[in-house]
Amino acid sequence: MAFKKIRFITDSTADIPESLIEKHQITVVPVFVNYDGSSFADDEKELSREAYYNKLQHIRPFPTTSAMPPGLCEKAIAQVADECDHIFIVTLSAKLSGVYNAFRLAVQKLPTDRYTLIDSLSTTTGLGWPVVIGAEVAEKTGDIQQVINTINRVRDATRVYAALGTLEFLHRSGRVGWAAAGIGTLLQIKPILKVEDGEVKSMARVRTFSRAVDELVTAAHAHAPLDRLVILYGIDLQGAHALRDRLKDIAPPDQTYIVRINPAIGTHIGPNGLGVVPVSASWKS
């Protein structure tokens, strides 16, 4: 098969470190956060993640999140199409957002042999790692099928876990049911969430945040040896560094990153949560 120049497009929920976006020329199309009567693109220009999290607790009415319009995707696709032979578009789980559908509509003007559209079945760097590793393989091989195979293997080997400081933000966003117990009781619970089959599910519930972080450590160790690792945070950078220290025995030295989670997810889980996204080295075998 002839070597092809391959480029990647994803959405801003991928939480890919800026250094890797630049290295692999990844195009990132922002999702939107809506509050104070306006919509703001998650692009660190219209919306600063740090500033947003610092005021999230006090925004009324509560913010909402939305996919980008297909026209914004179409513009990005047209630009990238002029620079390559084939485009991989990898998106946030279609079960969590309309992002996949926005890209599906936007790419219809492109011949089908010029692109591959993939639902990551995940979010944050559960989406980001398949994009980055897929781009690495594309640069080495120029082989579309090898890239597809890599993305599928990495997707299967990647997990997303998050410990929430409170259920308050999930309650506000309407993303949880409240039939099982009174609100006062549930707000004392520190949930540990996981992304599985494209959906956010409850993995465990504990009474203290320190115990929730213990669960993250245990979950990450279950996937060792690791090929990549991301520690996620909203405003608790100190907590993120402490979590990284606890994972230093399994953290790949040159492939471990601390990343501020995107506001499309952070709006629903709150600014004080922490997360881990391990990639098992098993994807290579």
What domains are defined for the chain?
6-31+67-156 (3.40.50.10170), 161-284 (3.30.1180.10)
Q: pLDDT tens digits for 224-260? A: 999 999 999 999 999 999 999 999 999 999 999 999 9
Per-residue pLDDT of the chain (285 residues; tens, 9 = 90+): 579 999 999 999 999 999 999 999 999 999 999 999 999 999 988 999 999 999 998 999 989 999 999 999 999 999 999 999 999 999 999 999 999 999 999 999 899 999 999 999 999 999 999 999 999 999 999 999 999 999 999 999 999 999 998 777 776 666 554 333 444 455 677 888 999 999 888 888 888 999 999 999 999 999 999 999 999 999 999 999 999 999 999 999 999 999 999 998 999 888 999 999 999 999 998
Tokens of 27: 């195009």
120-to-54, 90, 186, 198, 217 alpha-carbon distances in Å = 29, 6, 31, 8, 24
Specify burial of residue 141 (Cβ count, 10 A radius: 0-12, 13-18, 19+). middle
Decide: helix, strand or coil at residue 63: coil
